[in-house]
């Protein structure tokens, strides 16, 4: 009887353990299904781009009555950082997330043309920084990278550091930008940026509230993906079926600027040699879908809460070599 009792107890423990393992496996499958079920890949025929976007994620909420403003940045309901001559005749509005792979690919493909037009006084850019991937994938990389970029704006090096961040963007699920020491290490690639003031700004999260307010503006804007790119107010994902190339963008700007004087005043620090280019990344996952501007095969992220999943096309660039 004693042996039977021991066997019975052991059998009960084994059944209990097996049941717990089944429940844990079921929970893991449920979490995976939530992620995988939200993923939607959209391939645009021209350029073969892939748009990946996210369903939601505000990345935090800013209730601050007073929000610190970086130099020359605009506050209000839609905080933005300007790059280029303030009186340039055309304006490129960009909503982007430093952790967003499609944003990185948009920057890779379109950056040379954008820089050229900025330097000619033909185009000014307004960057709205958001934290969608933080909200969806977890982490603080979007927030910390955006704050660091705004700290660079104070030093007149936003454009330089913006490009360095995208050139060194980690895989989407790797929240490397959350590490402020890593951000400071990347700042060393921009001449003259690493100063005590910049370091303190990064470590203190001086512009976190500014970034959160910008993200809130995105979630209520009606736009559902990053990057969202507008030229003189026109959403480029709705031009030519979303198949806009860098050459198309240049022509659109020059056509819009005909008969107008170029703006005066240099962009915030021309890019340093070797800091403008960035490399692509392998595919990872995002959630939901929306109009996305992209430059090469990859993915992006974005999404206002409650948008659901809707297929769309991106802004395409020439196929990568």
Q: What is the CATH number of the domain that holds 222?
A: 3.40.30.10
Residue 47 domain-assigned (yes or no): no
- Give yes or no for a contact between 286 and 54, defined as CB atoms under 8 angstroms apart: yes
Instruction: Note the pLDDT of residue 67.
Output: 77
What phi, psi does 103 have (nearest 5°)?
-65, -45
Instruction: Note the pLDDT of residue 321.
Output: 32
Q: Among 314, 306, 229, which residue's Cα sits nearest to residue 57?
A: 306
Residue 305 domain-assigned (yes or no): no
pTM for the whole structure: 0.68
Residue 301 domain-assigned (yes or no): no
Residue 139 domain-assigned (yes or no): yes
Instruction: Note the pLDDT of residue 9.
Output: 59
- Give yes or no for a contact between 145 and 186, defined as CB atoms under 8 angstroms apart: no
Residue 264 domain-assigned (yes or no): no
Give the CA diameter of the chain.
101
pLDDT string in tens for the chain (321-residue length): 555 566 665 666 677 666 666 665 554 444 333 222 222 222 222 222 333 344 334 344 444 435 788 988 887 788 999 999 999 999 999 999 999 999 999 999 999 999 999 999 999 999 999 999 999 899 999 999 999 999 999 999 999 999 999 999 999 889 999 999 999 999 999 999 999 999 999 999 999 999 999 999 999 999 988 999 999 999 999 999 889 999 999 999 999 999 999 988 755 444 333 333 333 332 233 323 233 333 333 333 333 223 222 223 334 333 333
Residue 292 domain-assigned (yes or no): no
Instruction: Note the pLDDT of residue 73.
Output: 87
What is the domain range of residue 201? 60-258
Residue 112 domain-assigned (yes or no): yes
Rounded-to-integer distance, Cα 231 and Cα 98, Å: 21
What's the domain count of the chain? 1
Instruction: Note the pLDDT of residue 26.
Output: 56
């Amino acid at each position: 009887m004693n042996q039977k009792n021991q066997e019975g107890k052991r059998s009960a423990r084994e059944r209990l353990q097996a049941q717990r393992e089944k429940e844990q496996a079921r929970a893991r499958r449920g979490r995976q299904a939530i992620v995988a079920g939200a993923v939607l890949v959209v391939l645009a025929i021209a350029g073969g781009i892939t748009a990946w976007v996210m369903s939601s994620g505000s990345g935090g909420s800013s209730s601050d009555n007073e929000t610190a403003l970086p130099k020359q940045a605009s506050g209000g309901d839609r905080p933005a950082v300007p790059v280029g001559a303030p009186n340039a005749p055309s304006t490129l509005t960009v909503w982007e997330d430093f952790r967003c792979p499609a944003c990185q690919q948009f920057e890779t493909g379109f950056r040379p043309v954008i820089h050229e037009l900025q330097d000619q006084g033909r185009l000014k850019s307004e960057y709205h920084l958001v934290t969608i991937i933080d909200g969806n994938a977890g982490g603080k990389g979007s927030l910390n990278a955006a704050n660091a970029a705004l700290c660079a704006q104070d030093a007149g090096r936003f454009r330089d550091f913006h490009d360095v961040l995208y050139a060194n963007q980690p895989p989407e699920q790797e929240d490397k930008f959350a590490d402020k020491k890593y951000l400071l290490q990347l700042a060393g690639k921009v001449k003259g940026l690493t100063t005590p003031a910049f370091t303190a700004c990064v470590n203190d999260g001086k512009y976190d509230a500014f970034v959160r307010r910008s993200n809130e503006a995105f979630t209520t804007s009606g736009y559902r993906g990053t990057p969202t790119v507008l030229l003189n107010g026109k959403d480029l994902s709705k031009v030519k079926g979303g198949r806009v190339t860098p050459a198309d963008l240049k022509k659109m700007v020059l056509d819009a600027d005909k008969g107008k004087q170029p703006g005066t005043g240099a962009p915030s620090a021309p890019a340093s040699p070797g800091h403008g280019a960035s490399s692509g990344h392998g595919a990872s996952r995002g959630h939901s879908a929306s109009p996305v501007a992209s430059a090469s095969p990859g993915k992006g992220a974005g999404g206002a809460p409650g948008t659901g999943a809707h297929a769309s096309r991106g802004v395409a660039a020439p196929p990568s070599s």
